[in-house]
């Protein structure tokens, strides 16, 4: 039996982790009431006192625009806390799995980003996540950093749920069409993390930074059209450039991610987000 300690309980990935039932895994998910990431040393102490075989950090500060005015808080949660967790795991020689983001890149060009490409975050959120990656690596314990993009599910706030709400209210929507990436269902991220956890537990884990995103790559506007098509909604989608939808934080235009090393080292392929979208819509009908 593999004992997995998860930081996070109500977020999209943590929720999906808690829904996975596996006979060979004992999963413990810690919410903010039990593990507050604004208290990094307390989080480290939880790991030190636990009997976990693997630790997964599925908690984060994710308010991209608000981070522009709360960078210290974002950095505390997204960098200092994961660093303390990683050090506690390294002290016990147990693997630490950590979720990061495409926002560590500047979004230039059209080539899919590879894990070892130079980083260059455009805003506070990306800087905080990149600092977290460095802190995890600096702990020098067994670890895997999983960069993801455009996370969606039937839970929490995300693009799918926003489009379903707006698509039911309006006849026409203007949606950004010059940002391109891979929508990534939280359920697939959860499954990938457990596959990686099992590999480490069995002595097959590979320390490193990996990319994981859904396929095929699309624009936000094209993603919205597929959501409406599957949901039976009929608003007209008008493509607009990013410049027509200003936000406090800049978003990367190119969020395409090369996921080949994850397939090579862990046998995990990119999921077809269109299939996963059908499952999300089914979940929403049942909630």
Catalytic residue from among 61, 103, 125, 266: 125
* Degrees, nearest 5: CA angle 234-240-245: 110
245 is catalytic: no
State the catalytic residues.
Answer: 125
């Amino acid at each position: 039996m593999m004992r997995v300690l998860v930081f996070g309980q109500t977020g999209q990935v943590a929720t999906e982790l808690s829904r996975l039932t596996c006979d060979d895994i004992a999963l413990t998910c810690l919410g903010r009431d039990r593990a507050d990431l604004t208290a990094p040393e307390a989080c480290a102490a939880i790991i030190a006192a636990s009997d976990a075989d693997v630790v997964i950090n599925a908690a984060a500060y994710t308010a991209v625009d608000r981070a522009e005015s709360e960078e210290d808080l974002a950095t505390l949660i997204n960098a200092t806390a994961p660093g303390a967790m990683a050090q506690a795991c390294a002290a016990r020689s147990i693997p630490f799995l950590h979720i990061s983001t495409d926002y560590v890149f500047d979004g230039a060009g059209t080539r899919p980003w590879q894990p070892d490409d130079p980083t260059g975050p455009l805003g506070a959120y990306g800087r905080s996540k990149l600092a977290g990656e460095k802190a995890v690596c600096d702990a020098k314990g067994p670890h895997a950093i999983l960069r993801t993009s455009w996370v969606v599910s039937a839970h929490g706030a995300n693009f799918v749920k926003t489009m379903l709400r707006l698509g039911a209210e309006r006849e026409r929507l203007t949606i950004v069409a010059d940002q391109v990436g891979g929508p990534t269902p939280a359920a697939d991220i959860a499954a990938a993390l457990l596959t990686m956890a099992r590999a480490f537990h069995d002595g097959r884990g590979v320390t490193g930074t990996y990319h994981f995103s859904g396929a095929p790559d699309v624009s936000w506007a094209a993603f919205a059209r597929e959501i409406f098509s599957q949901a039976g909604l009929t608003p007209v989608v008008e493509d607009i450039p990013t410049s027509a939808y200003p936000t406090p934080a800049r978003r990367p235009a190119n969020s395409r991610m090369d996921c080949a090393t994850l397939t090579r080292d862990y046998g995990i392929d990119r999921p077809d987000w269109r299939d996963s979208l059908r499952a999300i819509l089914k979940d929403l009908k049942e909630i």
